[in-house]
Chains A and B, each alone.
Chain A
Amino acid sequence: MGKLKFAIYWGAACGGCDVAVVDTHEKLLDIAAAADILFWPVALDFKYRDVEEMADKSIDVCLFSGAVRNSENEHIAKLLRQKSKVMVALGACAQLGGIPGLANEKRRQDILDFVYHGSPSTASQKGVYPQEITSVPEGKLKLPKFYDAVMTLDQVVEVDYYLPGCPPESARILEVVQAIVTGNLPPKGAVVGALDKALCDSCPRKREEKKVKVFYRPQEILFDPERCFLEQGLICLGPATRGGCSDPPRCIRSNMPCEGCYGPPPDVTDQGAKMLSAVSSIIDSQDPGQIEKIIDGIVDPLGTFYRFGLPASALRKKRFP
């Protein structure tokens, strides 16, 4: 068998997934021994034209990180789908929309207004916005179209496997690549490199009783590093998040509550809804007024419960009048 052919791409992403690939350290050389990397814009100098000229299905595996936010992301996602045998959504953005997906709480125009005019650090000329086509003496300059909403990869092309995380743990990437190299592939559509059980299942913290009268944000209190975050009034997305990032989970070990980047466990269609259900069940009050007050302590429920998954959620985007 010849070497496997890999492509690694980023859509609307921060590059953290690419760093996670590089963070496999010397194991990256094992990947390079087993596979040729044909396309990896972050690390290697290839052009889109090089991909366009490849025969269909000539790439064995494409690791696609990042959400789909503009026409360039969509074009390359479709191109790589056409050229690849196996398409892997790498990381929270490709799987669920990720942090860029939080922009689905804003209107397209409001984002452009803020970025090109409103933000205090921007010196802007009034009325100047990026144009898809700009004519200059040398010809026409093109920019990708900025879409109304952020989409997940599978809202644009068919995805074979999902490798969750923000970013995915390097060890998990390696396991999945090894599974692919050895031909040990799970059924199509599977979430790989993660467990089916919720994060709480692998959490080492002490659990006693969940009765909360005040919700805090992590900067507001000194909390017990041994005890369940939720029991201390800190919102931890463990109950509504897939476990398996690492054992014990890294964020928890570093004394930070889970933020939910590994996405919902199987059979949960809306991670945020499940989480808000869990949170409301630990509120310790039967008085409507007090319940109201306790809930007011959760400052941004949408941003908290849908932090990594707004575009993949049932409602996907805010409705504007």
Chain B
Amino acid sequence: MDNFEPKIIGFYCNWSSQMGIDSAGVEGASYPPNLRLIRVMCSGSVDPEVIIEAFKKGADGVVILGCHLGNCHYRNGNYNALRRYRLLQKTLEQFGLEKERLRLEWVSVAEGKRFAGLVGEITEELRRLGPLRQFS
């Protein structure tokens, strides 16, 4: 288990978080390669079905990145993401998935370094939790 490298799927929105992730690169911040990023238009457009599919297909963690509350490009998409995320997290806990495996984070244009730090923190947390047990 010592050399377990978690697979993390990250859904990030096309607006604030996209630019935040971009600025991490511009600022020369580095983060672990465990995160596989998928761009979506809005954090509120990530269907719980897709998140569950990610876990089913072997993701050890999923992170959704959106604009800070009040800053959504579509006004309230991130509120939809927040409501859905909390209910999904509660449901996934009943499925035996630790709540740390699903994260929702707001990343602004100016938060490139914070984003890089966040990925490090999430990767560390998932290393500690170990791989997600698959159905056998």
Chain A residues in contact with chain B, CB under 8 A? 105, 149, 268-270, 272-274, 276-277, 279-281, 283, 285-286, 288, 291-292, 295, 298, 300-303, 305, 313-321
Question: In this assembly, does B110 line the interface, its C-beta being within 8 Å of a C-beta of chain A?
Answer: no
Contact indicator A276/B86 (Cβ below 8 Å) = no
Contact indicator A291/B82 (Cβ below 8 Å) = yes
- CB < 8 Å: which of A291, A300, A301, A317 contacts B83? A291
Given the contacts A270-B49, A288-B82, A315-B56, A280 and B87 also touching, CB distance less than 8 Å: yes
C-alpha spacing A273/B102, complex, angstroms? 14
B72 CB to nearest chain A CB (Å): 11
Residues of chain B within 8 A of A303, CB atoms compared: 94
* Cross-chain pair count, CB within 8 angstroms: 90
B69-99 with Cβ < 8 A to chain A? 69, 76, 79-80, 82-84, 86-88, 90-91, 94-97
- CB < 8 Å: which of A279, A281, A301 contacts B80? A281
Contact indicator B84/A280 (Cβ below 8 Å) = yes
Residues of chain A within 8 A of B91, CB atoms compared: 272, 276, 301-302, 305
- CB < 8 Å: which of A301, A302, A315 contacts B55? A315
| Residue of chain B at shortest CB distance from A105 | B94
Question: In this assembly, does B124 line the interface, its C-beta being within 8 Å of a C-beta of chain A?
Answer: no
Interface size classification for chain B: 20 to 34
Residues of chain A within 8 A of B53, CB atoms compared: 269-270, 314
| Residue of chain A at shortest CB distance from B135 | A316
Contact indicator A273/B95 (Cβ below 8 Å) = no
- CB < 8 Å: which of B52, B79, B97 contacts A314? B52
Contact indicator B76/A286 (Cβ below 8 Å) = yes
- CB < 8 Å: which of B52, B83, B84, B94 contacts A270? B52
Residues of chain A within 8 A of B84, CB atoms compared: 276-277, 280-281
Residues of chain B within 8 A of A320, CB atoms compared: 96, 133
| Residue of chain A at shortest CB distance from B85 | A280
Chain B residues in contact with chain A, CB under 8 A? 47-49, 51-53, 55-56, 69, 76, 79-80, 82-84, 86-88, 90-91, 94-97, 132-133, 135
Given contact pairs A280-B86, A303-B94, a sample of 17 additional A-B residue pairs in the complex whose CB atoms are under 8 Å apart:
A268-B49, A269-B49, A270-B53, A273-B52, A280-B83, A280-B88, A281-B84, A286-B76, A295-B83, A295-B90, A300-B94, A301-B87, A313-B52, A314-B53, A315-B135, A318-B94, A319-B135
Contact indicator A295/B87 (Cβ below 8 Å) = yes
Residues of chain B within 8 A of A277, CB atoms compared: 47-49, 84
Given the contacts A319-B95, A319-B97, A319-B133, A273 and B86 also touching, CB distance less than 8 Å: no
| Residue of chain A at shortest CB distance from B49 | A273
List 5 A-B residue pairs with CB atoms under 8 Å apart, sorted by A's residue number: A268-B49, A272-B91, A298-B90, A314-B53, A314-B56
Contact indicator B96/A318 (Cβ below 8 Å) = yes
Contact indicator A301/B90 (Cβ below 8 Å) = yes
